[in-house]
Every structure is written in C-alpha cells, then in structure tokens.
Structure 1
Amino acid sequence: MSLSFTRHLWEAAEPTYQAVLEHPFLAGLTDGTLPRRAFRHFVVQDSHYLRDYARALAVCAAKAYTEQDVRAFADDAVGAIVAEQEMHAEFMAALGSDAATAAAEPVLPTTRAYTSYLLATAHGGSFTEAVAAVLPCYWIYARVGEELLAKSSPDPLYARWIATYGDEAYQGVVRRVLALTDRLGEGLSEAERQRATEHFTTTARYEWMFWDAAWRGETWPV
C-alpha cells in the first residue's frame, strides 16, 4: 500500500522535527529555564510572522477549489491575526512591554526569509504547493504542543504558551488541514509531488530556524 501524502511529507521532514524537539529553546520552555530575553525575541518575531502567515493563508483561500476550503482558510487567516493581536499582546504585557513596542521592532533575518518564502510560494505556486508551504506551521506546532503538554512548565507564562498549541480545538484545525492535504495528494504527478515535498521540507526547516534565532538572539549583522 502506498503512503498517504501526509505520511510521505512527514517522513521527509522527520529529521527536522526531531531536531526541533531536541532544541534547547523547547527544553527551556518545559523546565522553566528559558531566558525571558529568548522568549521575548520569539514573541516579537512571531507577531511579525503571523501577519504575513495570515496573508499566505488568504492566498490559499483564494486558490482553494471548494467553498468549504475557501471559508476554512479565510477563517484560519483571521485566526492568525487574532492570535497576533490578542495572545501576543498578553505575552508582551507579561514581559513588561506592549504590542505597539513589538510592532515597532524590526523584522529579523530568519523571519524575513521565512515569510518571503511562504508568500512567494503561495502566490507563485499551485494550490497544493501553497498548502504544502503553510502546513509545517500548523502541523509542527500541533505535534510540539502534544509533546510538551504532558510536561507543561513550572513557569506559568511558558505553560500558557504550551497549552495554546496542545489544545484540542487547535488540534482539530490541524486534522482538517491534513485531511485536505491527503485529498490534494491524490492524482498528483511525480513532479507536482516533488515540488510540494520541497516546499514542505523547506518551511519545516524554517520552523527550526525560527526557534533557533530566538535562542541565539539573532539580529541583523550590519
């Protein structure tokens, strides 16, 4: 029996996911030792990221084949904006700052590279390619949430972040996108399958890079 398309994609990105789980940023979240400066870096850059991720999801909605998928991706785009405005505002307040301050801070190299790739793929590729590019953000966060939820964190702020992505409502959204991805995978040519896989593995790597950038306190070098 041939693999489902999502199983094929996950196997292609499995080494990257294992590297994500082993990253000291996530270890620091669960044991409470993550420096606040690293978490703040992540929250600020995630706010920038989600604005463009919402745009990429809106392009997916525009390219979707069915009204149901148009509505679903449009809702997800709105959800990304809500998360940026509400959840990150709460985190910034807990960190002694505010959303306006975060918005005024620069978009840093990894964030810029990741969102540029997402938007270029969503606009320039097929619907399947666009979905493959946005999928790791859905799926890796869901898997990380599942992994970390059992451990949670002694730090209430980090425990709140973990609970967001381990939540069953979020997991249900991800299952819906995975089901769509499997439907899209049916009947793809080998070339189309390879392009989608390349987009998926590339943005999965960007997910690792995003956490790593926060851990390193990445800035523009010049």
Structure 2
Amino acid sequence: MFVHGFQEEVGDLWQETLCHPFVQSLADGTLEKEAFYYYLLQDDYYLSHFEKVIEKSVVQAGTEELAAEMRQVRERLRQSELLMREQFYPRVGLTERDFSERKPAPTAYHYTSHLYRMADFGSFGVTIAALLPCYALYADMGKMYETARSSEPFYQELLDSYVDENYQQVVLKQKRLVEQAASMADARELALMKQAFHISVEMEWAFFDMAYKKQNWRGSVNYV
C-alpha cells in the first residue's frame, strides 16, 4: 500500500499533528475562542485555494473517468463550503466583514503555495498526493477524538463532521485514487508523490500551530 508507506515514513509527525495542543484543546473544549475564529477564517482561505487545485487536477486527469471523479470531489467541497458559509459561520458569530477583512497568515499562504506548485509542475498523481493529507489527517482526527465530547458545542460539531460516514468514505476514495496513480508511476514520479505528501503533512502540523498561536507576518505585508 503506497499511501500506508507514505504515511508510515512520517508517522511521528502524523501523531504529533493529531496531538497538537490546538487539536487537544478543541477536543476538550478549552481552546481559546479567538484561536478558533482565527482557524476558521484561515481554513476558509485555504479551502478556497484547495478547490482551485482540485480544478487543476481535473485537467491533469488522464481519463474522463478520473476527471469525473475529481469534479465530484470539487462539487462536494463547494457544497461543504456553502454550508459552512450559510449556516455554521453565522451561528459561531463570524460575519461577512470578518471574511472580507481577513488576511492570509504566513502558513496558510505557504501551504496553498505548495499545493499550487505541485499542481503546476507535477502530474495528476503528484497533485492528489499533495491534497491527500488534508483529507486523511482530519479523518484520523475524527476517529481519534470520537469519544472525547468537547465541552464547547461548536468544537464538537466540527469534530463530528470528520467522523461522519460520508466524510470517511470520501477519504477512502481519495486514498484509492492516490494508490491507483502510485501503482502506475515510475520511480521519479513516485518519489515526487511521496515528497508532495510529506510536505503537506508538515504543513498540516504548521497550520494547527499557526491557529493556536494566531500567527501573523512579522513585517508589513499588504494584500490586494
């Protein structure tokens, strides 16, 4: 199993990510509200670019069957984003102004830049390998904290969404796509897929750390 091999090589970091103080405090309800809001705003930024990278994978797909599968992935993400925007964010207390005034944090900017780089210079296999940790880590997080029962209802609601059977099935499908691509890859492409996957795992840890510390740029960065 190629995916298992990719993950096994970064096993310690995978566990460190699942046990990051951000995740643990989310699970027990002690996470600072400001850190939670910060995370949601940055995650929304990240997912908007994640969707665009999925669009690139549609173009890269070698068959119409694969392209159709990635279109379904893109549509599911769009529906999930819409649901968050219309229902979850307003209940949490985030407003359209919060999103319009949001600036990407360094880690969110660098993570999305990594995904674009993999999609622009890699293959279909490299692109979906780079995308996979985002799916797979959250699926494992949902399972790991399934019985934790956060004292903060909104935190628990978010955790429940990752252990939901539909989400778990989406992750399994993404793993199968990566397995299929890896099985047909030559040695160079397989190495690039592994590298893309490993960098994304590093960035997943950094993303939680970014949110926990409410990371900002040290200099003056203006976005247009």
TM-score by length of 1: 0.93
Q: Is the 8 A contact 1:41 1:214 kept in 2?
A: yes
* 1:198 CA drift (Å): 0.6
Q: Is the 8 A contact 2:106 2:216 kept in 1?
A: yes
The residue number in structure 2 matching 1:191 is 188
Structure 2 segments unaligned to the other structure (5+ residues):
220-224
The residue number in structure 2 matching 1:171 is 168
* 1:131 CA drift (Å): 1.0
Q: Does residue 127 of the first structure (1) align with residue 117 of the second (2)?
A: no
- What is the rounded CA distance, in whole Å, between the counterparts of 1:82 and 1:99 in structure 2? 18
Q: Is the 8 A contact 2:42 2:105 kept in 1?
A: yes
Shift in alpha-carbon separation, 1:184–1:64, aligned structure 2, 3 A: same
Amino acid at match of 1:142: A
- What is the rounded CA distance, in whole Å, between the counterparts of 1:85 and 1:120 in structure 2? 26
Q: Is the 8 A contact 2:22 2:209 kept in 1?
A: yes
Aligned residues: 219
- What is the rounded CA distance, in whole Å, between the counterparts of 1:7 and 1:29 in structure 2? 27
- What is the rounded CA distance, in whole Å, between the counterparts of 2:3 and 2:208 in structure 1? 24
- What is the rounded CA distance, in whole Å, between the counterparts of 1:109 and 1:85 in structure 2? 25
Shift in alpha-carbon separation, 1:89–1:113, aligned structure 2, 3 A: farther
The residue number in structure 2 matching 1:107 is 104
* 1:49 CA drift (Å): 0.4
The residue number in structure 2 matching 1:6 is 3
CA RMSD of aligned residues (A): 1.5
Q: Does residue 94 of the first structure (1) align with residue 104 of the second (2)?
A: no
CA-to-partner distance for each residue in 1:143-162, whole Å, 9 max, x for gaps? Answer: 11111122231211001000
Q: Does residue 180 of the first structure (1) align with residue 166 of the second (2)?
A: no
1:35 to 32, 36, 39: 32
The residue number in structure 1 matching 2:142 is 145
1:160 to 138, 157, 161: 157
Amino acid at match of 2:181: L
- What is the rounded CA distance, in whole Å, between the counterparts of 2:98 and 2:82 in structure 1? 13
- What is the rounded CA distance, in whole Å, between the counterparts of 1:191 and 1:20 in structure 2? 28
* 1:183 CA drift (Å): 1.4
The residue number in structure 1 matching 2:211 is 214
The residue number in structure 1 matching 2:222 is none
Q: Which moved more, 1:194-203 or 1:143-152?
A: 143-152
Amino acid at match of 1:134: L
Q: What percent of counterpart residues are identical?
A: 29
The residue number in structure 2 matching 1:56 is 53
* 1:88 CA drift (Å): 4.5
- What is the rounded CA distance, in whole Å, between the counterparts of 1:94 and 1:187 in structure 2? 46
* 1:217 CA drift (Å): 0.8
Structure 1 segments unaligned to the other structure (5+ residues):
none
TM-score by length of 2: 0.92
- What is the rounded CA distance, in whole Å, between the counterparts of 2:19 and 2:120 in structure 1? 33
SS of the equivalent of 1:149 reads coil
Q: Does residue 69 of the first structure (1) align with residue 66 of the second (2)?
A: yes
Q: Is the 8 A contact 2:18 2:137 kept in 1?
A: no
